[in-house]
Amino acid sequence: MLENIRLAFQGIWSHKMRSFLTMLGIIIGIASIISIVSTIKGTSEQIKEDLIGAGNNTVRITLYDGDFEYYGDSGGDKAPPVILNEQKAQVLKQKNIVNATFFYSRTYSEIYYGDTSFSGGTVLGIDENYLDTCGYQVVMGRGFVDRDFNEYSKVVLVDTNVVENLFLGEDPVGKVLEIQQEPFTVAGVVSQKEEFLPKMNNLTDYDTYTQMTVGSVMLPYKSWPIPFKFDEPQNAIIRADSTDNMSTAGKAAADILNSNIDNQKMKTSFSYKADDIMEQVRSMQKLSESTNQQLIWIASISLLVGGIGVMNIMLVSVTERTSEIGLKKAIGARKSTILAQFLTEASVLTSIGGLIGVGSGIGLSRIVSRISGTPSAISVPAIILSVLFSTLIGLVFGLLPSVTAANLNPIDALRSE
């Protein structure tokens, strides 16, 4: 086998230009496929990052009334379901759920600091797990402590956007602001550990982003009834252990929260629904991949052309080396030996073309990414499969010339000289 490989390299080196031109179809085909696959993978990762964000793997679970999200300030005489402590504990025990938080939420509330009003942001009634689950950290002052929850303390946390929009950049710690005409003291300032700019494809995305940039005011969930006097729905956010498990974890948590809702008895249509962001990711990735897979099939045509070129040049090589084949068979070489020699030479030829194509494809994907701004990510499995496939092309298209060489009559082969 090693001797066959040595002879193959010797034959390729003896006809360098002819060998390169033979490999060119393989090189172009493999390079095209590698660059396309890299673009597909990079685009898929970009889609995932755009929709999921900074990568904290959080899923929001929201109370719906029929097909519409239920808000505490929407009026009506329906009493929203209460999430029991047993349900919260059960959610936290679920496989693939790292942490979970349960909170109240209001937008467009009356918030004042002196004569300055704050509108368009969010007021949250949070529990002990909210900051960790949602990826917040305290950057000034302090966070909530047990006393704040147990004693219904009138304290709040504000994010850095509230500092800029309501306090106009001054230190807010210790300052007093009013929520629904109730005074609350600012205990600390929080900010996201990782920031990201989401893609805004519709009005809902824009509204969500606007609320994020205007800011959030957070108070202990037990103090929520102080500014807001009537029943409010509690929503949830869970953090999954990985991006791939977000959908499963979100659905499991929603099922637990729905287990305590008896719509028939209450004559309501409440249900908790998890935001299936991964489903959106998969849909967009599938659309992107289906388009690019057509390009892969087109690029594969060049591999077919390259394989035909290999078969042609190997037939030429058999013709040129007819007397050599006759001499080997005259001194006792078996058909299998001749067959293996020419198959090895064809495989080595296409494998070298495959390796050069992989390098060219990686370079091409980087160039395309830099010029067009399209992200790319190198796929190691695609590289391995490409090299193996190029070797397979050598075996398939080198088979006919190899069989032709192996079946030569030694007497006729020697006379050809």
Mark whether 21 and 75 lie in a shared domain. Answer: no
Q: Which residue has the higher pLDDT, 92 or 246?
A: 92
DSSP state of 193: S
Report the candidate in 197, 195, 239, 247 with the shortest Cα–Cα distance to residue 58.
239
Band of residue 196 on the pLDDT scale cut at 50, 70, 90 = very low
Higher pLDDT, 241 or 300: 241
Residue 60 lies in a domain: no
pLDDT computed for residue 200 by the predictor: 42
Q: What is the pLDDT of residues 251-282, one digit of tens each?
A: 999 999 999 888 777 677 889 998 876 566 56
Of the three residues 268, 301, 321, the one that is the final residue of a domain is 268
Final residue in a domain of this structure, among 211, 243, 268:
268
pLDDT of amino acid 192: 85
Q: Are residues 344 and 211 in the same domain?
A: no
| Structure-block tokens of residue 289 | 């991949």
Strands (DSSP E) along 86-207, which ranges?
A: 97-107, 111-113, 116-118, 122-126, 136-141, 155-159, 176-179, 182-192
pLDDT band at 414 (very low <50, low <70, confident <90, very high): low
- Per-residue pLDDT at 334: 75
Q: How far apart are CA 30 and CA 249, in angstroms?
A: 40
Task: Note whether 212 and 71 are same-domain residues.
Answer: yes
Tell me the per-residue pLDDT of 359-392, one tens digit each, with 9 for 90 and over.
888 888 888 778 866 667 777 777 888 788 888 8
Residue 58 resides in a domain: no
pTM, two decimal places: 0.59
Same-domain check for residues 211 and 98 = yes
Q: Indicate whether 198 pLDDT > 60.
A: no
For residue range 103-132, what is the model confidence (pLDDT) as tens digits? 999 887 788 998 888 877 789 999 999 999
Beta carbons within 8 Å of 90's beta carbon, 6+ residues apart:
256
pLDDT at residue 45, rounded to an integer: 65
Residue-wise pLDDT tens digits, 33-84: 888 777 777 766 666 665 555 557 888 999 988 888 887 665 556 778 889 9
Give the range of the structural domain holding residue 252, as residue numbers without chain letter: 67-268
Statement to judge: residues 177 and 31 lie in one domain: no
Q: Is residue 57 part of a domain?
A: no
Same domain, 368 and 307: yes
pLDDT by residue (tens digit) across 155-174? 999 999 899 888 888 899 99
Task: Evaluate whether residue 314 is within a structural domain.
Answer: yes
Same domain, 316 and 180: no
Helix axes 335-372, 399-406, angle to 10 degrees: 160
Does residue 62 belong to any structural domain of this protein?
A: no
Q: What is the pLDDT of residues 7-40, one digit of tens each?
A: 666 767 777 787 788 788 888 888 888 887 777 7
- Locus of tokens 């807001």: 228
- 109 plus 152 within the same structural domain: yes
Number of H helices, E strands in the chain: 15, 13
**pLDDT the model gives residue 377:** 73
**What CA–CA distance (Å, rounded) separates 144 from 2?**
72
Question: Which of residues 238, 268, 298 is at a domain's end?
Answer: 268
If one counts every other C-beta atom within 10 angstroms of the C-beta of residue 364, the result is 19
The residue type at 51: L
Q: Would the pLDDT of 320 be above 70?
A: no
* Percent of the chain surpassing pLDDT 90: 25
Residue 81 tokens, joined: 């379901």
Whether 197 is in a domain gets the answer yes
Mean of the per-residue pLDDT values of the chain:
79
Residue of 23, 83, 3 whose CA lies nearest to 314: 23
pLDDT score at 204? 44
Cα–Cα distance for residue pair 147/354, rounded to 1 Å: 67
pLDDT of amino acid 195: 57
Instruction: Look at strands 111-113 and 116-118 and give their pairing.
Output: antiparallel
* Number of domains composing the chain: 2
161 and 227 part of one domain: yes
CA dihedral 222, 158, 53, 252 (to 10 degrees): 0
Please check whether residues 8 and 99 belong to one and the same domain: no
Domain-located, residue 99: yes
For residue 124, which of 266, 241, 228 has the smallest C-alpha distance?
Answer: 228
Confidence at residue 392, expressed as pLDDT on a 0 to 100 scale:
82
Domain identity same for 333 and 222: no
274 located within any domain: no
CA distance 307 to 185: 76
Quick check: 405 and 335 in contact, CB under 8 A? Answer: no
Q: Is 220 exposed, middle or buried (0-12, 13-18, 19+ CB in 10 A)?
A: buried
Find the mean pLDDT for residues 289-305: 69
Q: Given this model, what pLDDT does residue 66 score?
A: 85
Report CA-CA distances (Å) from 378 to 114, 281, 292.
56, 20, 15
Over residues 145-161, the mean pLDDT reads 94
Whether 117 and 247 map to the same domain: the answer is yes
